[in-house]
Amino acid sequence: MKKIIQRSYRMALLCGCIVLLSDITALGHGTLVYPMSRVYRVYESNPENPAFELARDAIAIDGTGSYYSWNEVSRNIPEAVRAGLPPGYDYSPWAPDGQLASGGRIDREDFARTYRGLDQVSPQWPATSVAAGEIIEVDFFATAPHDPSVWDVWMTTNDWRPDLPLTWDRMEYLGRPEVRFSENHYYFDLEIPAGRSGRQVLWVAWQRDDPVGEVFFSTSDLLVTSGEASGLFVRADSNGDGTVDISDPVQSLQALFVDGARVGCISALDANDDGVVDLSDPIYTLAFLFQGGAAPGAPFPICGEDPTDAEPEDCEISQAGC
């Protein structure tokens, strides 16, 4: 009898695991990594010891668990599927004004993990520098890909300001792109509207086409420039987002070792200001961030010209805030 009970228990446990795994593999999860989303920036900054103030505030609001689960800013919206997934579907009932970044997940009574910290209104969110009229390759990291699905893209209008919440009356629908998939990444091309300038926000919805109708929301801050090199930068701000944090040595390593990695300003990568971009630069930045090492040389921590370089034309686009 005992053996029968044990076998029954094991069989139930096995069946439960199979069902659980089936549910997991059926779900798509992910977020934008270029331009980097707010939730991924908080995660990249280290939820245990966040590298910038807004990340610290987000952790205080939602807890570390939400940002270790950076790929779950999502809602189940089968209504969108039943409506035929029209382009530019109205998600406002689920992500209302002021809650676009969190996808409306703000109340712990309704959600095990909330993302209310992403809705913080501030001009200090780290931003990705792009140029007006530029065609960028958007990169969505999908930890669990899912198809069929559709993508829709919005961007703030020029009358939006970073001291305002994200609201639907200041969002412009940019269309439904064709996506490419490779090694857990979805890619699509996006032309930055020619009329944009300054701080903007990109908002992307990835909608599953199935009865569950799960949709994943990504919110990425942009600094839209004219595309002309200014020669101004912040040393060690390798990704040009206006903040020196853990994402910068990561960007430097990608520039050094990944073919085709995007580099906006070579001088910014020279963290130790020795005139050469090499492995010593990300090591220098990591020592400054985590071991009390010396700060990067000028220009730091605000934008400026390189005092040790007479020809700073290697900055292809202006960095955030410069």
Q: Which CATH architecture fits 26-225?
A: Distorted Sandwich (2.70)
- The whole-angstrom separation of Cα 106 and Cα 129 is 29
Residues of the chain with CATH 2.70.50.50: 26-225
DSSP H or E run through 221 = strand 214-225
Whether the CB-CB separation of 78 and 208 falls below 8 Å is answered with: no
Q: Are 157 and 197 in contact (CB under 8 A)?
A: no
| pLDDT by position in tens, the chain (length 322) | 333 334 433 444 334 443 333 333 334 599 999 999 999 999 999 999 988 899 999 999 999 999 999 999 999 999 999 999 999 999 999 999 999 999 999 999 999 999 999 999 998 898 888 889 999 999 999 998 878 999 999 999 999 999 999 999 999 999 999 999 999 999 999 999 998 888 899 999 999 999 999 999 999 999 887 766 567 788 999 887 777 888 889 889 988 987 766 677 888 999 999 989 999 999 999 999 999 999 999 999 877 888 876 444 567 655 655 6
- For CATH 1.10.1330.10, the residue range(s) in the chain are 228-322
Angle formed by the axes of helices 247-257 and 280-290, nearest 10° = 170
Condensed to tens digits (0 to 9), the pLDDT of residues 80-133 reads: 999 999 999 999 999 999 999 999 999 999 999 999 999 999 988 988 888 899
The span from the CA of 98 to the CA of 103, in Å, is: 10
| The predicted structure's pLDDT at residue 10 | 44
Q: In whole angstroms, what is the distance from residue 133 CA to residue 224 CA?
A: 9
Q: Which residues contact 193 (CB under 8 A, 6 or more apart)?
A: 132, 133, 155, 172, 174
Q: CATH for 228-322?
A: 1.10.1330.10
Three-class DSSP category at 95: coil
Tokens 């792009």 correspond to what residue? 130
Which pair of structure tokens corresponds to residue 23? 């549910």
Closest CA to 256 of 237, 269, 265: 269
